Structure 1
């Protein structure tokens, strides 16, 4: 998973060759499919930048297999359902010629967007940071945009607790929502998070995505 996350981060930073998810996957299919499922929509994040001529093919097939191999289990959490749905949505959005036949998608709940206390909200938002890509999960983006202040509190708390992965994930949402106070110092904060994470590949991915997909508001 670390190799895939690093490859996505490098592509978002504008380094390396033309992005192809299939080129980053391990030979062991089980490991590769698990990595796709864990990283979710982020495995296709470079395609959200546009400009890749050849879409679909092996990448679409890999995502289709991951969705089939790791569907949400009965009673799965809303985070798991959102993540699964987001990966399927990313494949349809960013790999329009993949020909992937997605498995039926369970409907995740969204009441927590309105009712969760801010520490819990921030934790869940960080777990779903991959869905902050443009055009994905508009209901989730709108719901989180309505709680900008709570996300900001969660970002500060994560930094103070040295939870770099959570801080980076919450920061991704914050760069896309309105009315973030300048006093938060979000840009500098994200640079600090990446530096202090010690090269954590998922933190690198989140902070690279935050730079490339900032602004634009919810949705």
Structure 2
């Protein structure tokens, strides 16, 4: 029961923070992490765990818009990166998620300039994506949706770029299976890659995903991110 209660608390924290990010994406404002400065150890650990789940998307509005992050949000993000380094035997998605967070931190935390923490970490291998079936590819890309940002080249983005039809197939499959989070993540990638079939109807598809799954802030985050990217002129 205690473990179930902790999971529910973590899920609630993730949803709350995702809602903050969605609001910032819609308004071009700061991500607000109200109350983090006065958290006790339990609340602080829960917040760090929630930020770890959300990953680099916590600061996505400040990557897409020319607004610096609020100091408290940046501090929580930095603490999360430092607190959860991936283990050597961690899954590739875990390593890539941490890599994305580290890259975002270097981009937005000016205090790291000229320090070892500000150095570019080496990219992880993404060869497994080239060998994955289109179903597995779509699932993995949805998990790694925080890497889908304009102009941010990496091995995962290049793998997605090589397989636009497979990602489109995965998007359709996720919609049919009513897996709104996977559909939203795949849709976000599809706004960035070339060669997406025009018959896909991505804009309409994203509207439908938001209509059906938009009550989940994590789905709304991915859909809103896709729309901001499209508005910025990303090719579809």
If each structure's helix is expressed as a fraction of its own residues, which one has the higher value?
2
Q: 2:176 aligns with which of 138, 160, 167?
A: 160
Deviation at 1:198, TM superposition (A): 5.2
* TM-score normalised according to structure 1 size: 0.88
Name the CA distance, whole Å, in 2 between partners of 1:124 and 1:134.
Answer: 19
1:12 and 1:208 in contact (8 A); partners too: yes
Kept in 2: contact 1:67–1:103 (CA 8 A): no
The CA deviation string for residues 115-160 of structure 1, in whole angstroms up to 9 with x for no partner, is 1111010100000001102243532212111100000000000001
Q: CA deviation at 1:70?
A: 1.4
Structure 1 stretches of 5 or more lacking a match?
none
Q: Paired residue for 1:87, among 86, 96, 101?
A: 101
Q: Distance in 1 between matches of 2:36 and 2:128?
A: 34
State TM-score, norm by structure 2: 0.82
2:47 aligns with: 32
More displaced stretch, 117-126 vs 64-73: 64-73
Which residue of 56, 61, 72 corresponds with 1:41?
56
Shift of 1:104: 9.6
Larger radius of gyration: 2
Distance 2:93 2:222 in 1: 17
For each residue in 1:10-50, what CA deviation from the matched residue of structure 2 results, as whole angstroms up to 9, or x when unmatched?
A: 111127xx313433759311111111111111001110233
> Hey, what does 2:34 align to over in structure 1?
23
Q: Which has the higher contact order (CA 8 A, sep 6+)?
A: 1
Question: Which runs of no fewer than 5 residues in structure 2 stay unpaired?
Answer: 1-13
Alpha-carbon RMSD across the aligned residues, in angstroms, is: 2.4
Aligned to 2:227: 211
Is 1:7 aligned to 2:23, yes or no?
Answer: no
Residue correspondences, number: 214
Report the counterpart of residue 171 of structure 1 in structure 2. 187
Shift of 1:71: 1.5
